[in-house]
Amino acid sequence: MSKPRQLTPQEEARLAQVRKNFQERRQISENLQSIKKKIGIYSGKGGVGKTTVATNLAIQIAKSGFSVSLFDCDIDCPNVTKTLHISEGPIEKDSKLIPPSRHGVSVMSMSFFQEDEETAIIWRGPMIRNAINQFLHSTQWGQLDFMIVDLPPGTSDAPLTVMQTLQLDGFIVVTTPQDLAALDAKRSINMIRKLNLEVIGIVENMSGDIFGRGAGEEISKSMGIPFFGSIELRKDYKTSTNPTVLESEDVEKEYSTISNNLLSKLNF
């Protein structure tokens, strides 16, 4: 019997990386196994209010009595802590990070580790992947009904890295009424589907007389995706010192509709 061929240094390195990746995925899976549903909030472009939707929706779900975390995966431009007015970062206990909470939602974000919030984070895919893996593995998430994940916008390396790293149970795609925003939303939906993942709902943000309305429902009908609801462009968002869902009855009603549609879709 011939001896097995000795691996080259390059093959040894690749095999070591495969083993490392498998170990990371196993550890992350174990750390997240107490989370019932992980839902990504995603958009085809920036500026459509994705983070605003993610934040207010997480709070609305928590108001309904569910345990919720909000994971800010927009590594390049993390804004969740700004939206929630959180200044204190996580605390470390038994080699795990305990995320701070606000309005019943525990929060983890890259912004906790920025010395200057105005400094750009310029990272390529592997660094983003390592950061996300570190958050997922090192954070003590606890027993949760929902993890709401604020993804990077677009269809390039950053969101792709998040989608391949996190085993999300579904996506809510956010669009605004303009034609270009709707086109980008369709592109993002097609990207999700190419990865054999599921878009569970569409939300139209900034509806009203200024930008119009109806793009979300059109996408819903043309692509066979449930329409979860629309959110009007209101002045309430301008002066609010808290997330607007806590300050405005009209906004609370809109997010209640979206939350109920999500919970119904997931059989909660």
Are 209 and 235 in contact by the 8 Å Cβ rule? The answer is no
Least confident of 17-21, 83-87, 155-159, 254-258: 17-21
Write 122-125 long-range contacts (CB < 8 A, 24+).
122/76, 123/75, 123/76, 124/157, 125/157, 125/158, 125/160, 125/161
Distance, in Å, from the CA atom of 265 to the CA atom of 168, rounded to the nearest integer, reads: 15
How does pLDDT run across 90-104, given as a tens digit for each residue?
A: 998 888 899 999 999
Does the pLDDT at position 129 exceed 80? Answer: no
Distance, in Å, from the CA atom of 261 to the CA atom of 245, rounded to the nearest integer, reads: 17
Does the pLDDT at position 55 exceed 80? Answer: yes
Distance, in Å, from the CA atom of 73 to the CA atom of 154, rounded to the nearest integer, reads: 13
How does pLDDT run across 20-52, given as a tens digit for each residue?
A: 767 777 777 777 889 999 999 999 888 899 999
Q: pTM (2 decimals)?
A: 0.88
The pLDDT value given to residue 179: 93
Q: What is the CA radius of gyration of the chain?
A: 20
Helix axes 179-194, 157-165, angle to 10 degrees: 40
pLDDT-based confidence at residue 56 (cuts at 50, 70, 90):
very high
How does pLDDT run across 110-126, given as a tens digit for each residue?
A: 888 877 677 767 777 67
Distance, in Å, from the CA atom of 249 to the CA atom of 22, rounded to the nearest integer, reads: 47
What is the CATH code of the structural domain delimited by 35-265?
3.40.50.300
Residue with tokens 């000795």: 6
Percentage of the chain beyond pLDDT 70 is 95
